Amino acid sequence: MSFTITEAKRLVIKVGSSSLTTVDGGISVQALNRLVDACQKLRSRGTEIVLVSSGAIAAGLAPLRLDRRPQDLAAQQAAAAVGQGQLLAHYSRAFGHHGAEVGQVLLTVEDLIRRATYVNALRALEKLLALGVVPLINENDAVATAEIRFGDNDRLAALTANLIHADGLILLSDVDALYDGPPSAGGSPIAQVARTEDLNGVTLGPRGRAGIGTGGMVTKVEAAQIVTAHGIPARLTSAANAERLFAGEEVGTLFLPRGKRRGARSAWLAHLAHTKGRITIDHGAVSAVAERRRSLLAAGITEVTGSFEAGDVVEISSPDGEVRARGVSSFSAAEVQIMRGKKTAELAQELGEDYQRPVIHTDDMVRVEVAA
């Protein structure tokens, strides 16, 4: 299976800070203009694009007279608050030369996993695209906390691709492809990744370039794995190769899709959510939950471990300890402990009608693939 850029109707394109900045950390207007010119060639062929762009913190360094990316969170947030406006102005001017409008959408990963906010995000993005606007997405670094440190624009791009049912995810950085080892030590570029096993023995290196980016190759590969597991191909290459890539050349590394298309929330549950506990279920419940895709009822629960509250993500495991699903619990660990093994009628009689609900609804659950 191949991924033909020129035939794509909708793409999410993510560009990293290192591809847009100068040596001293400021925005490279020349690099940004080249990227926009390449993107516009895609748009002129009828391809809708959503641009996920890093660079807000880097853009804020010079105005704040900072010679390097600050280490403390408050200073990073201040740089982002100043730099985001400058970054948007650069994009607005560059796309404006082509008669295109840019619409800024600031998100955090949480915006794409909470039911109400991800629906609103989808509506906003769909309307912008329908109006011919280029959505410019960035992590909301001025208010983000832990996310700001872990290259979440790569993951944010992956979740966005799932959210809008993109035909592909393009990851642009300062490296032209994924290598099987350090290029300086004789590593070779990898043209295609079809299975997770293809990455065995591949050295991904540290996260980010010192002083500028935060993601590095690790989070780019993670982002590619998120979308491919949900039926969307990804291609990783350098921003310098964007024009060749968008013209249809086979450059960089292609990650082939492996799974079925699902939404951003399912992608988050499967790959990114931090689990707070585990619920062990009996064989009958395994069949219902994992195979027939039913909600998890209290009657099938045999054991509860960990400390979690209602709304936290937990693992669901079979009697032999194999994780079969992950989901958002409707009740706390203490409540589930009391509810386990009881039928719906018993719960209503002993605890009240509110406890008749599933412990985890099927809409709040993602099933985990089991090795053959």
Residues annotated within a binding site: 14, 54, 141, 153, 173-174, 214-220
SS3 33: helix
φ, ψ at 281 (rounded to 5°): -125, 160
Token pair in block for residue 190 = 């990898």
**Identity (one letter) of the amino acid at 262?**
R
Pick left, alpha or beta for residue 306 (phi over 0 → left; psi -120 to 50 → alpha; otherwise beta). Answer: left
Residue 40 and residue 280 in contact, taking contact as beta carbons nearer than 8 Å: no
List, as residue ranges, the binding site for substrate.
54, 141, 153
Q: From residue 223, how far is each of 111, 230, 235, 370, 371 by CA, in Å?
A: 17, 11, 11, 21, 22
Residue 369 and residue 339 in contact, taking contact as beta carbons nearer than 8 Å: no
Q: In the 3-class helix/strand/coil scheme, how is 104-155 assigned residue by residue?
A: EEEECHHHHCCHHHHHHHHHHHHHHHHCCCEEEEEECCCCCCHHHHCCHHHH
Angstrom distance (rounded) from CA 251 to CA 99: 29
String of DSSP letters for 167-202: SEEEEEESSSS-BSS-GGGT--B--EE-SGGGGTT-
Helices 115-130 & 152-163 angle (0-180, nearest 10): 70
List, as residue ranges, the binding site for ATP.
14, 173-174, 214-220
